[in-house]
Amino acid sequence: MGDFKIVLLPPDVQEHWPDMIRARVPGAQVLVFDGPEEALHDLEDADCAYGYMPPEVFSRARRLSWIQAPAAAPHPSFFHDALVESDVTVTNFRGIYHDNVGHHAVALLLALARRFHTYLPQQLAHDWKPAEPAVHLPDSTVLVVGLGGIGAEVARICKALGMTVAAVDPRRTERPGYVDDLRRPEAVGELLPKADFVVVTTPDTPQTRGMFNSSLFALMKPAAFLVNVGRGACVVLDDLVEALRSGAIAGAALDVFEIEPLPANHPLWKMPNVLITPHIAALDAPHLLERRTEIFIDNCGRFADGQPLRNVVDKANRY
């Protein structure tokens, strides 16, 4: 295309991006701002942008065609009504966390299966006492809720461990070889009673927010475990606490929470059948900057060349 004007807004704009964009799109006009309000004038004739853009700023960007969201699953507030109802294409960084978060999820699953939630407190108490037998994974079924990049990595490793793997996903229709049963999300209630482990990797969308509540916990096996590395809003904490207290499910391992930071007086901290990590599955993970850069610069080139963009978001569903 002839003109190419892009505005870079916070967060996490990298110093080398402007030069990389100009190298990929010769003649590109690249402008970097510390905040969206500073960019009001230049957004009026910008073709594309990176970063968060509130409604009052977005309304000034009349020529805008594409926004690169600064996250794999942006906060729901990113998708305000004006953006969702517009013709502006949104892309994100999904896929860059698949190994880091996927491996953390499997580590939590293995910790539950091997009863580490029992043995770690016993270690601190100097208490040498065998717990109930570990879960034999080849005789177990895992249900992966969300078969995107992270969910697919979880499913692949679980299959390598000998587990039966079921999954639900709203987009994916072709079943990978490491998944035994792939369904639409509407089938989650049918699959839950068969699962020994349920791993949640979904983004926060209108469809997933509060998805795991008392109704779904009631469908799980009493011996089943929940692992959540997706978004905290997908699991209703009060309902989870009740399910754990009542024995509706056997335990949980959580890296994300409906309330963050998890309050110091929250009952989950002291529950003997719970493992907690403080939203660190991808904290300081290697290669994330390189992966973000590769997707963004590639999309700049694709946009300039009139080619399809990578990681296009379904704005109505926020993923």
Inter-residue contact 283 to 257 (CB < 8 Å): no
Residues with active-site annotation:
231, 260, 279
Pairing of strands 66-68, 48-50: parallel
Per-residue DSSP letters for 206-240? TTTTT-BSHHHHTTS-TT-EEEE-S-GGGB-HHHH
Amino acid code (one letter) for 76: P
Task: Give dist(CA 19, CA 37) in Å, integer.
Answer: 24
Q: How many CB atoms lie within 10 A of CB 193?
A: 12
Task: Give dist(CA 46, CA 61) in Å, integer.
Answer: 7
Residue 144's H or E segment, with its range, is: strand 141-145
The b/e string for 76-94 (b: 16+ C-beta within 10 A; e otherwise) is eebbeeebeebebbbbbbb
Beta bridge pairs of residue 199: 144, 227
Task: Give dist(CA 128, CA 130) in Å, integer.
Answer: 7
Q: Which residues contact 270 (CB under 8 A, 6 or more apart)?
A: none
SS3 247: coil
Inter-residue contact 9 to 36 (CB < 8 Å): yes
Q: How many CB atoms lie within 10 A of CB 242?
A: 14
Dihedral (CA of 233, 109, 272, 283) sign = negative
DSSP 270: G
